Amino acid sequence: MKAIFILWLRQLKRYWRSRARMVGALGQPLIFLLAFGFGFGPVYHKAEGGDYLQFMVPGVIAMGILFLGVFTGIEMIWDKQFGFLKETFVAPVPRYQIILGRTLGGATVAVMQGIVVLLICLLIGFELKSLWLFPIALVFMLLIGLLCTAIGTAFACVLDDMQGFQLIINFLVMPLFFFSNALFPVQELPNALKVLVHLNPLTYGIDGLRGALSGAGEQHFALDLLILSTITFLVLGLASFLFSRIRL
């Protein structure tokens, strides 16, 4: 447990030292919030969909967590290239604890990012349904962070090139985000697209987050939590397996 805590703390220090990364990670969610929230908001309202800002804010929060969590895998590739990972491997610690500490650290940073995005959204007009449901929102944010960090870590375990990692992750991240319920309701989609949306684990994280923050979730918290946590732990197990096979 001590090793997990040390690696978790190391990830937080890395993030805090990179001020440019902190500012840059906020840019994309805020652009989406301003462009879609205020651009499509009147159209969504005229179509009797309600307040679009209330609908899309959970998706924008998940977006901030998604991008920051997945791209933490670059740090592992950096550590492999410059030999820092060897120093970690020589420590008398099981590798699953190493990967768990790194993943928890990346997920914590991603959740912090999500909270910052939420605070900005509150300033521009988003309204929480209930403060009592906010802890449930934090649970979903943490699970989304763990899932995305584990995905980035799994790819970083099998890749050694930063440019190749960025290309593959971009190819994966954009479908994960756009083929979810982040920006549009699922009910009126074509059946083929509905299947893709419901196969996307991010959909269940956003639905649970939307239900906790704005009360507009389509499913019960328990079902979203069950599906998301199951997929998250499966991906985390895969990342741990791939990490155990790294040979430096």
User: How many structural domains compose the chain?
Assistant: 1
Domain of 107, in residue numbers: 2-244
pLDDT at 42: 65
Closest CA to 96 of 231, 205, 226, 233: 233
* Half-sphere exposure of residue 38: CA atoms within 13 angstroms, side-chain side: 8
SS3 218: coil
Rounded to the nearest angstrom, the gap between the alpha carbon of residue 103 and the centroid of all alpha carbons in its chain is 12
pLDDT at 62: 92
Block residue for tokens 């800002």: 53
Q: How far apart are CA 109 and CA 84, in angstroms?
A: 21
Written as tens digits, the pLDDT of the chain (248 aa) is 665 666 656 666 666 555 555 666 677 777 877 777 666 666 665 655 567 788 888 999 998 898 888 888 877 887 777 767 776 766 677 777 878 888 888 888 888 888 988 988 888 888 888 888 899 999 999 999 999 999 988 888 888 877 778 888 888 888 898 889 888 888 877 888 888 899 999 999 999 999 999 887 788 888 999 999 999 999 999 998 888 887 76
Burial of 132 (0-12, 13-18, 19+ CB in 10 A): exposed
Q: How far apart are CA 237 and CA 214, in angstroms?
A: 32
pLDDT at 4: 63
CB-based contacts of 226, cutoff 8 Å, min separation 6: none
Contact predicate 179/196, CB 8 Å: yes
CB atoms within 10 A of CB 232: 24
- Which ranges constitute the DSSP H helices of 18-127? 19-32, 38-39, 41-46, 52-70, 73-82, 84-89, 95-123
Q: How far apart are CA 199 and CA 32, in angstroms?
A: 24
Is the four-CA dihedral 235, 238, 239, 240 of positive or negative sign? positive
Q: How far apart are CA 32 and CA 155, in angstroms?
A: 26
Closest CA to 215 of 57, 89, 30: 57
Q: How far apart are CA 70 and CA 96, in angstroms?
A: 19
Block residue for tokens 């993943």: 103
